[in-house]
Structure 1
Amino acid sequence: MELKDIIDLKAFPIGNTDFRAACKKEFNETGVFVMPGFVQKGAIDTIRDEGIANKDKVFKSTKQHNVYLTPKDERFADDHARNRLVTSSKGCITDDLMPQGSPLRQLYDAPVFRSFLCDVLGEDAMHQYADPLSSINLHFAEKGEELGWHFDNSSFAITLMVQAPEKGGKFEYVNAVRDADLGEMGFEKVNEILDGKAPVEIVEADAGTLVFFRGRNSIHRVAPNEGDLTRILAVLAYNAEPGVELSEAARMTFYGRLS
């Protein structure tokens, strides 16, 4: 499959300097950039079918965690924003199970796509993970499964909706809740969000939608899937430096294995 059969290059001319600059401007201003229909239907159908064919290899996990994705801090009460627990439950297929000829792998590896990412994200280079599991993941959320409120440790995330749920399963976020660099953790705002008292932004994403998101200081979640159709999301993970591996502890937590 050629790149023009994967990406709608007429709507998204990712090699064009002016287009890249416009994308970068919007992303810098809002912390989120949404491209509906970025991946064409034929390619997204193939990616979906590849995922479903490997569904028996999904690693499923349900975990409780705080929004900071850190161990409990004994200096605070259990009901303090620092230690309040939320639930994340999902299934995952790892990079090593993706077919070599998959349109998803072609997209991930395409030099013009990586160059586009560098320009929009303000990075010098985009490198795959050195470990065999972490570069491309497919996440599956069945009915009732969710990704609890949290902040990311990384500076950006790139996701592709492969199969949208029939009901629920929306990506929700609140911008600028904390300032991790200054150590301002936004406890009061976090409590409001966990109590359902704060307005949230919602990203609507049909199959084929590519999303850039800065989640280090903006809290976000995937609401519970309320329908019978599985929500399938591809996560494209890169590093600014070569040779980076996800830690063994993280791999065991996310994937249940090291290789």
Structure 2
Amino acid sequence: MRRGISFKETGHTPRHMRNVRHKEIDDHGSVIPEVYSSADLLRTLGRVAGEPVLMCPYEPERYVITELEQSGDTHGWHWDDYSFALVWVVDCPPAEHGGFVQCVPGTHWNKQDPQVHRQFLEQPIHSFELRPGDLYLMRTDTTLHRVYPLSRGRRLIINMGYASQADLHKQISHETMDGLWHGSREEQAGQTV
């Protein structure tokens, strides 16, 4: 499904992409769900993260496929509800055509007042070029991040969201996740949520 939306919880940063949602992956595939819940993978991620990495308790956020395919497509500046994302890069253009990851670690998400631009003044922005076949683990609840807008080419990824032990004891709302992956009437009308 094609998306063109923004969210006040992330300072109205844009999301322009196509995606395949968790339910569609579950309905039509078995490899991604099996890899996601692999005990060996979870143990390895825990060693890398330095703490237990757990399956996300909110199923729609466990895994999705996203594709940026048009000039200007981006997954704009945002934080994730849960602590970790494991991103499998299937396809990505050279950095001069966009599609690379930018992040600002050590940030805090206040959904009522995100102050996205203020984060850039207080912390450096780090940029990382990606190539097909790359895989990265990011701390996504305390790292403001985005995919730099495409000018040419295609970026195709599988995103797997995981929780920390602390996530299991927090109140977590899912308005941006639900709006992005499930869509809304406003989105279909081309409005900002």
Alpha-carbon distance, 1:249 to partner: 7.8
**Which of these residues, 174, 196, 209, is aligned with residue 134 of structure 2?**
209
Q: What are the superposed Cα offsets for residues 202-259 of structure 1, whole Å, 9 maximum, x if unpaired?
A: 11221221111123333221111111x3211111123355xxx9858843542238xx
Q: Which of the pair has more CA radius of gyration?
A: 1
Q: Could you state the TM-score of these two structures normalised by the residue count of structure 1?
A: 0.54
SS of alignment partner, residue 237 of structure 1: strand
Alpha-carbon distance, 1:61 to partner: 1.6
CA distance in 1, matches of 2:116, 2:157: 30
Alignment match, 2:46: 118
Higher relative CO (CA 8 A, sep ≥ 6), structure 1 or 2? Answer: 2
SS of alignment partner, residue 169 of structure 1: coil
- Partner amino acid for 1:189? R
Q: Could you state the TM-score of these two structures normalised by the residue count of structure 2?
A: 0.70
Alignment match, 2:99: 169
**Which of these residues, 16, 25, 29, is aligned with residue 100 of structure 1?**
29
Alpha-carbon distance, 1:169 to partner: 1.1
CA contact (8 A) 1:129 1:237 kept: no
CA distance in 2, matches of 1:138, 1:113: 19
SS of alignment partner, residue 45 of structure 2: helix
CA contact (8 A) 1:158 1:213 kept: yes
Q: Give unmatched runs, 5+ long, in structure 1.
A: 1-58, 70-83
CA contact (8 A) 2:61 2:177 kept: no
Task: Give me the CA root mean square deviation.
Answer: 3.4
Which deviates more, 104-113 or 206-215?
A: 104-113
CA distance in 2, matches of 1:220, 1:247: 18
Alpha-carbon distance, 1:188 to partner: 6.8
Q: Give unmatched runs, 5+ long, in structure 2.
A: 185-193
CA distance in 2, matches of 1:113, 1:247: 25
Alignment match, 1:150: 78
CA contact (8 A) 2:77 2:116 kept: no
- Partner amino acid for 2:64? N
CA distance in 2, matches of 1:145, 1:153: 22
CA distance in 2, matches of 1:219, 1:248: 17
CA distance in 2, matches of 1:233, 1:119: 23
Percentage of identical aligned residues: 19
SS of alignment partner, residue 162 of structure 2: coil
Q: Per residue, is there more strand in 1 or in 2?
A: 2
The total of aligned residue pairs comes to 171
